[in-house]
């Protein structure tokens, strides 16, 4: 990777996941690198001795930790006698948060370089996931296949406080959320910690929560303990934690990262089954904080139709895919045509299911 100042100059400072310190910590902590199936392979464009573009790229030997699922593509290609892995992956590992992936001013050259790396090394494919709409359209004009996905984001419509937000919902949904919040907080103290307020004991608790959730979802959590030991220093005031205490004992937590205009909810976990607490810490507290701090959006992670009832709206996400083999490309393109229609219908259904009162925006 480039030196920190050069990399951050290309990435900007609005996305906490693209910063040199975050990506470097993934490597230093052993979350990516040897034995993980994620080999760092940043792709750079230099002109006149100056880096003009860069992409956080990895050589992947599996399809885990990407949140854009291509296991079926891999199976089909290998049944046809090909080797799908390794593949080239441009993404922020384990982070399904839409944002820039082609950093700097030379995006056309960067896409061409990704294509060249793929072809010259005999790789099956190159993938850029959770990129911006503008980047996706640029790649599509070069012949990359574009794939749609769906997430659920909350948008700040200029609310003065959480009650103002609730006032835009139907009466039934408004009452349900108030009941959920009361039930979730019964017998607990909820604290909000940011940056230096998050002490080693809090990071220790969050690691245990993450392990519990990661073991249940993925079998083996992606991030290492060393990542949680270093993330506070790496992101500084961009770290935001909502912690539930019973007495002095942390029993659940949600870790967020603060961007330029977005709050990103990333990791959640609890000790045992605590009804409604996930909604309280991961959704409602995030909304409250975003309103109070005038952020435009809350992204609470991948998937989750249950977010609709909490006011999170369906949005389209994009990924693009470069497949050098023409027959393989055509087969995937046919699959994407059908999938795209299914995503369109799901978004349409989601918008109809939103709990907002008619005319409330």
285 vs 256: CA distance, rounded Å: 11
Consecutive 10-residue averages of pLDDT for the chain (361 residues): 92 94 97 97 94 97 96 96 97 97 96 98 98 98 98 97 97 96 96 97 94 68 93 97 96 97 95 92 98 97 89 97 98 97 96 86 56
Return the pLDDT at 71: 95
Supply the pLDDT for residue 215.
Answer: 62
pLDDT of 132 reads 98
| pLDDT attached to residue 217 | 60
Give the model's pLDDT for residue 172: 95
pLDDT of residue 304: 84
pLDDT at 218 (0 to 100):
56
85 neighbors 61 (Cβ within 8 angstroms): yes
The residue assigned the tokens 């070069």 is 142
CA pair distance 278, 328, nearest whole angstrom:
42
Instruction: Determine the pLDDT at residue 39.
Output: 98
Q: Terminal CA-to-CA distance of the chain, rounded, Å?
A: 44
Q: What is the pLDDT of residue 193?
A: 98
Q: What is the pTM of this model?
A: 0.95
In angstroms, what CA-CA distances link 316 with 133, 153, 174? Answer: 9, 10, 26
Question: How far is C-alpha 225 from the chain's CA centre?
Answer: 20
**Alpha helix positions (H), 142-190:** 162-166, 171-185
Peptide bond into 86 cis (omega under 30): yes
Helix or strand (DSSP H, E) at 10: helix 4-11
Residue 63 phi, psi dihedral angles, 5° rounding:
-120, 30
> In the numeric block, which tokens belong to residue 275?
């009804």
């Amino acid at each position: 990777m480039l030196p920190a100042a050069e990399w951050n100059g290309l990435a900007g400072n609005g996305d906490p996941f693209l910063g040199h310190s975050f990506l470097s910590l993934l490597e230093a902590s052993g979350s990516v690198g040897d034995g993980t199936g994620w080999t760092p392979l940043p792709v750079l464009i230099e002109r006149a001795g100056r880096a003009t573009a860069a992409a956080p790229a990895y050589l992947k030997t599996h399809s885990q930790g990407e949140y854009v699922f291509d296991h079926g593509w891999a199976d089909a290609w290998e049944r046809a006698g090909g080797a799908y892995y390794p593949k080239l992956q441009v993404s922020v590992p384990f982070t399904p948060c839409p944002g820039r992936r082609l950093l700097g001013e030379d995006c056309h050259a960067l896409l061409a370089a990704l294509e060249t790396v793929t072809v010259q090394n005999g790789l099956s494919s190159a993938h850029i996931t959770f990129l911006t709409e503008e980047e996706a359209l640029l790649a599509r004009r070069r012949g990359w296949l574009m794939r749609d996905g769906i997430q659920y984001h909350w948008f700040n419509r200029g609310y003065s406080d959480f009650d103002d937000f609730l006032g835009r919902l139907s009466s039934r949904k408004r009452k349900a959320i108030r009941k959920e919040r009361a039930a979730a907080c019964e017998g607990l103290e909820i604290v909000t910690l940011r940056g230096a307020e998050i002490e080693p004991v809090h990071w220790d608790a969050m690691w245990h929560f993450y392990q519990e959730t990661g073991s249940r979802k993925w079998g083996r959590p992606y991030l290492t303990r060393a990542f949680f030991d270093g993330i506070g220093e790496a992101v500084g005031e961009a770290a935001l934690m909502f912690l539930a205490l019973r007495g002095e004992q942390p029993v659940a937590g949600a870790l967020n990262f603060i961007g330029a205009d977005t709050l990103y909810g990333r990791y959640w976990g609890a000790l045992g089954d605590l009804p409604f607490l996930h909604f309280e810490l991961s959704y409602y507290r995030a909304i409250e904080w975003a309103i109070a701090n005038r952020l435009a959006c809350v992204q609470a992670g991948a998937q989750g139709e249950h977010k609709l009832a909490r006011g999170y709206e369906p949005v389209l996400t994009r990924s693009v895919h470069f497949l050098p083999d023409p027959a393989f490309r055509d087969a995937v393109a046919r699959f994407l045509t059908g999938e795209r229609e299914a995503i369109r219908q799901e978004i349409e259904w989601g918008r109809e299911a939103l709990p907002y009162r008619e005319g409330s925006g």
